[in-house]
Amino acid sequence: MLKYSLLLFSALIISVAKAQFAPFNHLTTDQGLSNNSISSIVQDPKGFIWIGTYDGINKYDGYKFVSYMGNDTGNFLRTGRIRFLYPDKENNLWIAGADKGLTKLDLLTNKLTYYLYDSASTNCIAANFVSDIKEFEEGKLYIATSHGVSILNKKTNQFTSLKHSDKDQNSLLVDQTNTVAKDINGHIWFGHSGFGITEYIPSQNKFIRYNMSDPKIKLGGNRIKSIFADSKGLIWISMWHAGLGIYNPKTGYFWNNRDTSKNVFKELWQVGLVSEFTEDDAGDIWMCGAEKGIIHYNRKTGKVNFFTNNPDDPQSLSDNTNLCIMRDRTGLIWSGTWKGGVNYFNPNCLKFGLIKHDGNKPNTLNDNDVISIKQNTDREVIIGTGKNICLFDPITLEFKKIKVNSSDRDALVENSQVNFTIKDPDGTFWYSTNGAGVYHYFPQTNKYVIYGPNGGKQHYLHESPVHMLLDKDNNLWVSTWGGGLYLYDRKADSFVNFLYDNANKEFLSPIVLNAIQDGDGRIWIGTQKLGLLLMDPINRTFKKTSIGNAKELSIMCAMLDAKDKNKLWLGCSGHLVEFNTKDQSYIDHSEKNPGLTSGFLGMVTDNAGHIWISSDKDLFRFDPSIKNYTLYTSADGTQGKEFNYNAIVKLTNNKLLIGGTNGMNYFDPEEIHEKLIPPAIEFTDLLVLNKPGFFKEEIGYIKEIELSYKEYFFSISFAALDYLSSSNNKFMYKMDGLDKDWIDIGDQHQLTFTNLDPGDYVLNIKAANSKGVWNETPLKLKITITPPFWRTNWFYALCLIVIIGSVYSYIKYREKKLRLEKEILEKKVEERTHELNEEKLKVEEAHKDIKDSIYYAQKIQSAIIPSEEDFKKVIPNSFVLFQPKDIVSGDFYWLVEKSEYVFCAIADCTGHGVPGGFMTMLGSGFLNEIVNEQKVIEPDQILNKLREKIISTLKQTGKSGENKDGMDIVLLRFNKKTRELTYATANNGFILLDGDTMSEHYGDKQPVGIYGHEIKPFTAHSIILKENVTLYSYTDGYPDQFGGEKGKKFKYRTLNDLLIKNSHLQLSFQKDKLHEAFAAWKGELEQIDDVCVVGIKF
């Protein structure tokens, strides 16, 4: 028999059963669950979690619950108490209630279909009491009921039944069936309450019965609770009051865990009643116990671990009575309890080996606050906690407490917080504590010596040591928080303080965080705010390093590189720094992980060269070869978010031991591998105008939606269905038709859109799980916003038709009206044509008379204004550019020679054309009268007289509304003997060119005539001219002319520059250049004013 048993269970190795810690997440009514009594947990094809309770069904997406409650009326669940749930591939959820038949929930429409027993029908379910549902063949459901097994063909909606027959052994053992399972051979197993098991072979339509009355079958009991067929071919059987049984179809033998005569089940006897089973990818079996919590059977090692409720640990299993278990597609284990709601956790977290205080065991970790770790031997690790120290065996995982020597007043007390341990070469130990200094322990005598604030003068040490270093010369260095650095003098049995720098005559940072010695024996000191210091212990001096130049930089922890002993790894103020001790160069690796906190607490290197970093915000692993960080949180199995300072070591067995405020992790880093599974992502809710229920279908099953322009405000929610740490899942989105790039929205899982323009859009969502693995194939939803009717194509077409019709009708109406008006007009035209011809003759005759008058006025003006030839007779070296805008000019020049004087005037009268011409004749005539008849020769007096005559002639009084005609004028008098030039001006002026030197000359800023200000006498000015000085005077017609490429004015400065440019030419050529420049500038534009430019060379 032993031979057979070994063959039968060659796949099973059972080792010592131990309780193990795992961080469970809890879902209860506090989080929105409808009831804390859980009967079934399943995951649908999309990834949503469905939870059956004693009061309805709950759909969970990682953020919220949607409840489906029981109601005996209407299209809803007929019962609130759920027995079993089963999701099929067609997006249906099958629901077994308490004696209420079978219900199908269409997950797309939320429509319910009921399947009830009907004694009058042959096509119905066998009974209303349903215990289990499975789909083993495509389209066929096997339904375990209290009156046999019903098989539903979902395509035809037809029922067939498997029943017990007293006359036929080839039938069910009994009708009452609790559970259904299918093994790897395609055989279906039915468990019957109180009677045993039936094996059904569908291909042969053969039934095989098993019960405990058969002496060959050591079933142990007939009350079958649950059956599970694993991937190795074994059948696991749970029985009320009979424990656990396993059957191997290859050998045909049953074994029961209550039979402890064979080693196969020596430890599994503790399991008790199992409600349900599940299997993970490694082939391990997970059981939810009706009394013993969750049980894990490791098929590889044979170990059995129990996860139970611990009242002292809020992260433990909430209830030891578990009714259902499920493994989701990412590997998380979910269990439903009797009174504690839902528990789920990541089984990979077991690889991190969480160890915590267990109040139910005597030899346990003495406190969860693990402050320091020091390996003494291969079988002994000294653990410093918030309650003294204890000894840990890394092989057996057992602890030994250190007895407190109450008779020794210098001994460690019960609550001593040991934060660092050093083993001295002489076999003694040094313990640094929080608040009491350092304890030196002598094991042979079991005595302590205290070095601290209460140690007296000889044994004084600062009360807060935080780190100790035993260098290559066996010197003990103690770093303290507030007292600087200390060195132990073995001869004097006292500590020497290093707080003052003799070389730089300054105090160092009183907070020294660590000290480390490199491969060349140099000692490096990590401080707060002063960075990294290089110490000379002989001269008691310190040198600041390149790491110390940063303002207020703190070296929280330091570690020698595993291969290069002249390379340090420093954790400082949020930066991971690789530091070369020879040339003090360094590399900052922090930009690769902006999530690193400033709270570096410890570092250690594993055999693969990875650096493990403990912090006050989780655990990091850094791979120096690819400069990559991996984050591990409590969801992965770490003891919690906050680790303790320097409580991190690699043991001689190459495993890591890391302590924190909630226990410690003991693990093999080679077993920590990332399973990079991108999360499934689904839409979960749609609110239109802040109202739900806009569509009859569930939003998660809809590929496109259509909203009208009136639904201008809508919100859409989504979820990454990776439940390891839902709050740390991340999202990004892009709305095609609106956005060009992806927009990162962090952990936000709802988007709101307002006032989108009518059109077609596609919403794309990507998600990443808490490990940063992104789903590269986005979830898409097409969104169509329909426009108002006045912005639709048909309305545009209708408007176009109406416009065309209206225009056509109007045109036809106008044509008819125009024909009538044409006839009338033609008659009137004939009449008016005759009249116009007569008027035309009159106008032509008047025009001829006016034009003749203007030309006659031109002749008069020409006669009055001296010709250029006459001008040159008086002043030979001169030119006159005279170009009227119209026939008659408003500009004029005047010239008179009187004895040794030559009088010359250049004037611009008000207006141009005939009005201007009239003023030129007045001005010229008055000047002749004043100079020739009245003998006035002073230029200022001449202008005064001229003004009087103009005001008198034009009868100007200065009243508002009357004409203010007059002129701007330059009047010159040149003495040919003395070369004195005397001048008076009204608004205008002249320039003088002496070689390359130009000077401008202006007189009075008032016109000759009446104007709106006080009339003042004109003033005269005199200058003596050198030989070959050229004078230029001009009116505003030339500089104000518009032209050029941009149609702007020529401007005075440009004209002056032109005159200077051509000043070296003869005056006749200068005139030609001025004429050409004016014509080129004006181009095709109209001349805006009269032009008069006079040049005289004296």
User: What is the per-residue pLDDT for 424?
Assistant: 92
pLDDT at 1 exceeding the cut of 50: no
User: What is the per-residue pLDDT for 74?
Assistant: 44
pLDDT at 3 exceeding the cut of 70: no
Q: Report whether 192 contacts 173 (CB < 8 A).
A: yes
Torsion of CA 897, 898, 904, 909, to 10 degrees: -110
Token representation of residue 349: 């977290």
Token representation of residue 798: 């209708």
User: What is the per-residue pLDDT for 269?
Assistant: 65
Whether domain 868-1097 has CATH 3.20.20.70: the reply is: no
- Residue 367, SS3 per DSSP: coil
pLDDT at 923 exceeding the cut of 70: yes
Length of the chain: 1098
User: Given pLDDT bands bounded at 50, 70 and 90, which one contains residue 264?
Assistant: low
Can you list the alpha helix ranges (DSSP code H) found in 888-990? 913-928, 939-953
User: Given pLDDT bands bounded at 50, 70 and 90, which one contains residue 305?
Assistant: confident
User: What is the per-residue pLDDT for 73?
Assistant: 40
Question: CA 845, CA 849: separation in Å to the nearest integer?
Answer: 6
Whether domain 2-352 has CATH 2.130.10.10: the reply is: yes
| Residues near 234 by beta carbon (within 8 Å), at least 6 away in sequence | 11, 12, 246, 247, 248
How confident is the model over 654-676, as a mean pLDDT? 91
- Least confident segment among 25-34, 569-578, 750-759, 1058-1067: 569-578
Here the contacts of 259-267 (C-beta below 8 Å, separation 24 or greater) are 259/218, 259/220, 262/2, 262/5, 263/14, 264/5, 264/9, 264/12, 264/14, 265/14, 266/14, 267/14, 267/15, 267/16, 267/17, 267/304
User: What is the per-residue pLDDT for 856?
Assistant: 65
pLDDT at 846 exceeding the cut of 80: no
Question: CA 578, CA 750: separation in Å to the nearest integer?
Answer: 41
How confident is the model over 503-525, as a mean pLDDT? 82
Nearest to 574 by CA among 592, 561, 549, 559: 592
Mean pLDDT of the chain: 86
- Least confident segment among 645-649, 957-961, 1086-1090: 957-961
How confident is the model over 709-735, as a mean pLDDT? 93
Q: Report whether 267 contacts 253 (CB < 8 A).
A: no
pLDDT at 11 exceeding the cut of 50: no
DSSP sequence for 285-331:
EEEEESSS-EEEE-TTT--EEEE---TT-TTS-S-S-EEEEEE-TTS
User: What is the per-residue pLDDT for 10?
Assistant: 35
Torsion sign over Cα 493, 495, 501, 506: negative
How confident is the model over 1041-1066, as a mean pLDDT? 90
pTM for this entry: 0.68
Question: CA 619, CA 642: separation in Å to the nearest integer?
Answer: 9
Question: CA 865, CA 860: separation in Å to the nearest integer?
Answer: 9
According to the 3-state scheme, what is the secondary structure of 419-445? EEEEECCCCCEEEEECCCEEEEEECCC
Give the highest mean pLDDT range of 34-48, 284-298, 447-461, 911-925: 34-48
User: Given pLDDT bands bounded at 50, 70 and 90, which one contains residue 853?
Assistant: low
Domain residue extents for the chain: 2-352, 681-791, 793-864, 868-1097
User: Given pLDDT bands bounded at 50, 70 and 90, which one contains residue 634?
Assistant: confident
How confident is the model over 58-71, as a mean pLDDT? 88
User: What is the per-residue pLDDT for 758?
Assistant: 92
| Residues near 517 by beta carbon (within 8 Å), at least 6 away in sequence | 469, 471, 472, 523, 524
Within 10 Å of residue 934's Cβ, how many Cβ atoms? 11
| Residues near 752 by beta carbon (within 8 Å), at least 6 away in sequence | 713, 714, 715
How confident is the model over 182-195, as a mean pLDDT? 93
DSSP sequence for 106-167:
ETTT--EEEE---TT-SSS-S-S-EEEEEEEETTEEEEEETTEEEEEETTTTEEEEE-BBTT
- Residue 1078, SS3 per DSSP: helix
How confident is the model over 336-352, as a mean pLDDT? 93
Question: CA 992, CA 559: separation in Å to the nearest integer?
Answer: 90
Q: What is the pLDDT of residues 456-504, one digit of tens each?
A: 778 888 888 999 999 998 999 999 998 889 999 999 999 988 876 656 6
Q: What is the pLDDT of residues 131-184, one digit of tens each?
A: 999 999 888 999 999 999 999 999 999 999 999 999 999 999 999 999 999 999
pLDDT at 548 exceeding the cut of 60: no
Residue tagged 């890391």 (tokens): 658
Query: Within the chain, what is the greatest distance between any pair of CA atoms?
Result: 165
Q: What is the pLDDT of residues 220-251, one digit of tens each?
A: 788 899 999 999 999 999 988 888 888 989 88
User: What is the per-residue pLDDT for 911?
Assistant: 66
Residue type at 212 in one-letter notation: M
Question: Does 868-1097 match 2-352 at the fold level?
Answer: no
pLDDT at 263 exceeding the cut of 60: no
User: Given pLDDT bands bounded at 50, 70 and 90, which one contains residue 262?
Assistant: low
Residue type at 437 in one-letter notation: G
Could you tell me which CATH number the domain at 681-791 has? 2.60.40.10
pLDDT at 295 exceeding the cut of 90: yes
Nearest to 609 by CA among 564, 548, 572: 564
- Least confident segment among 367-376, 710-719, 905-914: 905-914
Question: CA 442, CA 445: separation in Å to the nearest integer?
Answer: 6
Angle at which helices 1067-1082 and 1052-1061 pack, to 10 degrees? 140
Within 10 Å of residue 453's Cβ, how many Cβ atoms? 16
Q: What is the pLDDT of residues 788-808, one digit of tens each?
A: 888 888 888 888 888 988 888
| Residues near 964 by beta carbon (within 8 Å), at least 6 away in sequence | 910, 956, 1009, 1010, 1011, 1012
Residue type at 483 in one-letter notation: G
User: Given pLDDT bands bounded at 50, 70 and 90, which one contains residue 454?
Assistant: confident
User: What is the per-residue pLDDT for 127?
Assistant: 94
How confident is the model over 278-293, as a mean pLDDT? 92
User: What is the per-residue pLDDT for 75?
Assistant: 45
